[in-house]
Structure formats: structure tokens, C-alpha cells
């Protein structure tokens, strides 16, 4: 007679068990799949957020409303209205590229967002481009200074309208990272990561090297073969952990960790988490329920002083690892579920709570606080790390 495997209920709370300190956007609803009327307090499926410093400002990619929302200072109350909007004429309107053509101050499905030098960078996914502001915007509809992936701000074809890609083309870029002068872009639709060694200064500037593909003109899923230590299927977010590059490879349901920061084409990673080897690619390692060593579409990744964290999106949870991991090692930390074998949205497919998650897409750490893009709940959570 077969007996079910006992559920491991032992874990460390990554974030405070009491839940988020501040909730922006939806304040608790059971009608989570319904679009929300745009305003200075609502969001629809936000997928990225960036708190520039512990005191602010805060910028959010309000993905479903095709706009960026900005708070001059770090919000201090639930539902605090945004101060600025970029991408729409005002807070009450929505639509891709403000229902017009692409411009330097419009967006279409904005996702990843990060500080970039003294400015800001945004992955403008469905315009197949990255927008860069040299200085942090401090007003409504400030135009970007630089566009990558397109020759100018008015174009938005994938790979500039070509069948193949190149060093200056993008297709659905979803995530980005700026670190010590380098800009990393998860060029998701081209199944690769592009790297610029310095902040680009010209529109359409080509990348310096590529990860995930042997050459800058190739875009096959997993490099045209099976998953490996150098291939990708759906690269989505990046972080630096203990001076090692980390990538959330959502399509292969894993995190990839390099030894250091790769500085040339197609360098293989050294470790994966979420799979037991480099060739595994099944969600939750083929099981119906998740476990402490499995992932299902991890779209986000972030780092604190002690934790490597993944937004394990389809399992509606955060996982955390301490210390340098071994291949496929189990996570010790958990937030959003009551144990490692649970994957329900908001823990019970019901309404949201301060300590629940539904399809979290993005996570950023600023000081002792996590900023979580809780996309399925149409909200942003500012949630303290558990001391």
C-alpha cells in the first residue's frame, strides 16, 4: 500500500508573518480577475516596482494599465495615491501607447523597472524596447532619453521587423538589471540576456555580448536543443548574489547561477535551483504539488544580505535560500503559503490578505524591505524582512 509523502511544514519566514506594512492598489477583493478602472490609487496586474532608496521615490510598472506610477516619497499609508504618471494623459485613462503610436513617454505592457545610474530603466515589453531616463523623472509624462531595441521612439516592431535578431534588436524584453555600470536585459522572446558594458548613450545602441545563445543573431528556444547550463527558455529577471549573476529562467522553471559575473558570449552557469540537473525543465519537477526544491514559472528574483529570493509565480509564493547553494538544493525560506506543498492563490483561492500572494511577478529588496508586485491581486506590497 502506497502512503502519501509527509508534508514538510518546517521553514523560515522570509518576510514578517504579520504581512505587508503598506498595500498599494487593491485593498482586498474576491473579484481579482476583473480589470480595475485606472486612477491614482488603482493598478491592474503590476509586474515591476523599484524603490530607489528607503525614503523614495517609488516607481511601479502598472502593466495592465500601460503606464508607470510614481510616488515622490516612500508611501506611508495603505492606498496612498501616486504623485506622477508616465504613459497616459492623466490618471483616469489607459490603453497601449495611450491609444496612439509609440513615443518617448508612452509604454505598452511595461514590466521590469530598475534604477540605472542616476536615472531609471524600464522594460517596455510589447513595444520591444527598453527606455532609459538619464535622471529620475519628477513629473508627469517625462520623456525617456534613450531607447534600446529600436532605432527611434516611434518604432515598435519585434526585432525591428526582421525575422532574425541582432545585437541591437529586442523581442519582448521583460526584465533588467543595472549593476556596477553594466546593464543586463532579459530579452525574453529571443531567449537570451543582452549585456551593455556601460549605460548606452545612443538610441538603438547594440549590446556588447549575449548569454543564452552562441551568437548575437540567434534566438532559438534553449539554443535550439535541450536545456543546458548555457541555454534559456523564458529568461525573465536578474539579480547579483554574492557577486554572482542570477537569472530567473521561468520557461525552464529554474534559477540559473553563474560563478561571478560573465563577461563574454554564452558563458555557462554553474548551478541551477528548482531542477536537480541542467537538463530538467518540468514545472515542480514533474509533480502536481510544489516542494522546497521545485519551482513553477519563477518570474522574479531578488537578494538581501542573507537571502536569495525567488518570486515562484505560478505557485503563488516566495522561496528563499541562505548561503551559497549546491545544485538543486532545497529552499529554507517561504512566504505566501502555509507549507512547501501548497500552491493556491491567496492560500485558499479566496480573497487577498496582508500576508497572502497571488501570482507575484516581481520582487525588489531595498534596505530591510521587500517590494513585491503581487500581480494577481492587483497590488504592490511593501513588506519587511523577518528579523
Query: Could you write out the DSSP letters of every residue in 68-121?
Result: EEEESS---STTPPPSEEESSSSTT---GGGGS---TT--SSEEEEEEETTEEE
Q: For the chain, what is the domain count?
A: 1
Which pLDDT tens digit goes with each residue over 38-72? 999 999 999 999 999 999 999 999 999 999 999 99
User: What pLDDT, on a 0 to 100 scale, did the predictor assign at position 347?
Assistant: 92
357 within domain boundaries: yes
* CA 302/CA 375 separation, integer angstroms: 17
* CA 142/CA 195 separation, integer angstroms: 26
1 within domain boundaries: no
Q: Which domain holds residue 354?
A: 12-384
Q: Rounded to the nearest 10 degrees, how much is the dihedral formed by the CA atoms of 356, 358, 359, 361?
A: -50
Which pLDDT tens digit goes with each residue over 196-216? 999 999 999 999 999 999 999
Which pLDDT tens digit goes with each residue over 145-166? 999 999 999 999 999 999 899 9
* CA 107/CA 159 separation, integer angstroms: 17
8 confidence band (pLDDT: 50, 70, 90): low
Q: What is the CATH number of the domain that holds 166?
A: 2.120.10.30
For the cut 50, the answer to whether the pLDDT of residue 2 exceeds it is no
Strand arrangement of the beta sheet that strand 182-187 belongs to: 173-179, 182-187, 192-196, 209-211
* CA 291/CA 284 separation, integer angstroms: 7
31 confidence band (pLDDT: 50, 70, 90): very low
> What is the rounded average pLDDT of the residues 168-188?
98
Among 26-30, 143-147, 199-203, 224-228, the minimum mean pLDDT is found in 26-30
User: How many whole angstroms from its chain centre is CA 198?
Assistant: 22
Residues 6+ apart with CB under 8 A from 33: none
* CA 334/CA 70 separation, integer angstroms: 29
Which pLDDT tens digit goes with each residue over 271-303? 999 999 999 999 999 999 999 999 999 999 999
User: What pLDDT, on a 0 to 100 scale, did the predictor assign at position 306?
Assistant: 86
Which pLDDT tens digit goes with each residue over 342-371? 999 999 888 999 999 999 999 999 999 999
Report the length, in residues, of the chain: 387
7 within domain boundaries: no
4 within domain boundaries: no
Three-class DSSP category at 48? strand
From residue 246, how far is each of 65, 226, 238, 323, 359 by CA, in Å?
A: 29, 20, 6, 14, 21
Residue 311 bridge partners (DSSP): 300, 318
26 within domain boundaries: yes
| Among the listed residues 232, 216, 75, the one whose alpha carbon sits nearest the alpha carbon of residue 224 | 232
User: What pLDDT, on a 0 to 100 scale, did the predictor assign at position 308?
Assistant: 97
255 confidence band (pLDDT: 50, 70, 90): very high
User: What pLDDT, on a 0 to 100 scale, did the predictor assign at position 1?
Assistant: 39
Which pLDDT tens digit goes with each residue over 64-110? 999 999 999 999 999 999 999 999 999 999 999 999 999 999 999 99
Average pLDDT, rounded, for the chain: 95
Q: The whole model's pTM is what?
A: 0.96
User: What pLDDT, on a 0 to 100 scale, did the predictor assign at position 28?
Assistant: 76
Q: What is the DSSP letter of 161?
A: G
5 within domain boundaries: no
| Among the listed residues 59, 25, 24, the one whose alpha carbon sits nearest the alpha carbon of residue 44 | 25
4 confidence band (pLDDT: 50, 70, 90): very low
The C-alpha cell that represents 319 in the structure block: 522561496
Amino acid at each position: 500500500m502506497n502512503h502519501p509523502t509527509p508534508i514538510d511544514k518546517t521553514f523560515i519566514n522570509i518576510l514578517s508573518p504579520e504581512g505587508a506594512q503598506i498595500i498599494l492598489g487593491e485593498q482586498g477583493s474576491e473579484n481579482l480577475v476583473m480589470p480595475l478602472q485606472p486612477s491614482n490609487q488603482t493598478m491592474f496586474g503590476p509586474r515591476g516596482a523599484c524603490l530607489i532608496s528607503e525614503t523614495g521615490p517609488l516607481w511601479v510598472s502598472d502593466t495592465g494599465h500601460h503606464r508607470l506610477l510614481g510616488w515622490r516619497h516612500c508611501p506611508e499609508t495603505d492606498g496612498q495615491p501616486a504623485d506622477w504618471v508616465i504613459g497616459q494623459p492623466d490618471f483616469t485613462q489607459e490603453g497601449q501607447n495611450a491609444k496612439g503610436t509609440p513615443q518617448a513617454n508612452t509604454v505598452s505592457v511595461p514590466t521590469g523597472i530598475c534604477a540605472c545610474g542616476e536615472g531609471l530603466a524600464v522594460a517596455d515589453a510589447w513595444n520591444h524596447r527598453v527606455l532609459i531616463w538619464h535622471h529620475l523623472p519628477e513629473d508627469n509624462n517625462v520623456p525617456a532619453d534613450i531607447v534600446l531595441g529600436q532605432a527611434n521612439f516611434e518604432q515598435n516592431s519585434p526585432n525591428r521587423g526582421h525575422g532574425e535578431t541582432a545585437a541591437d534588436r529586442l523581442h519582448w524584453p521583460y526584465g533588467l538589471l543595472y549593476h556596477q555600470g553594466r546593464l543586463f536585459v532579459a530579452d525574453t522572446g529571443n531567449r537570451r540576456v543582452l549585456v551593455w558594458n556601460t549605460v548606452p548613450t545612443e538610441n538603438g545602441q547594440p549590446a556588447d555580448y549575449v548569454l543564452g545563445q552562441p551568437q548575437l543573431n540567434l534566438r532559438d528556444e534553449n539554443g535550439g536543443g535541450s536545456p543546458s547550463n548555457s541555454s534559456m527558455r523564458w529568461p525573465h529577471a536578474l539579480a547579483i548574489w554574492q557577486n554572482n549573476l542570477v537569472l530567473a529562467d521561468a520557461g525552464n522553471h529554474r534559477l540559473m547561477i553563474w560563478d561571478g559575473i560573465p563577461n563574454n558570449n554564452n558563458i555557462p552557469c554553474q548551478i541551477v535551483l528548482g531542477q536537480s540537473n541542467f537538463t530538467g525543465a518540468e514545472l515542480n519537477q514533474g509533480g502536481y504539488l510544489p516542494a522546497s526544491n521545485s519551482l513553477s514559472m519563477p518570474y522574479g528574483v531578488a537578494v538581501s544580505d542573507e537571502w536569495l529570493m525567488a518570486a515562484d509565480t505560478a505557485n503563488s509564493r516566495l522561496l528563499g535560500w541562505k548561503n551559497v547553494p549546491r545544485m538543486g538544493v532545497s529552499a529554507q525560506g517561504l512566504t505566501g503559503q502555509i507549507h512547501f506543498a501548497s500552491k493556491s492563490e491567496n492560500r485558499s483561492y479566496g480573497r487577498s490578505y496582508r500576508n497572502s500572494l497571488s501570482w507575484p511577478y516581481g520582487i525588489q529588496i531595498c534596505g530591510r524591505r521587500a517590494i513585491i508586485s503581487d500581480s494577481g491581486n492587483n497590488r504592490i506590497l511593501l513588506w519587511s524582512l523577518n528579523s
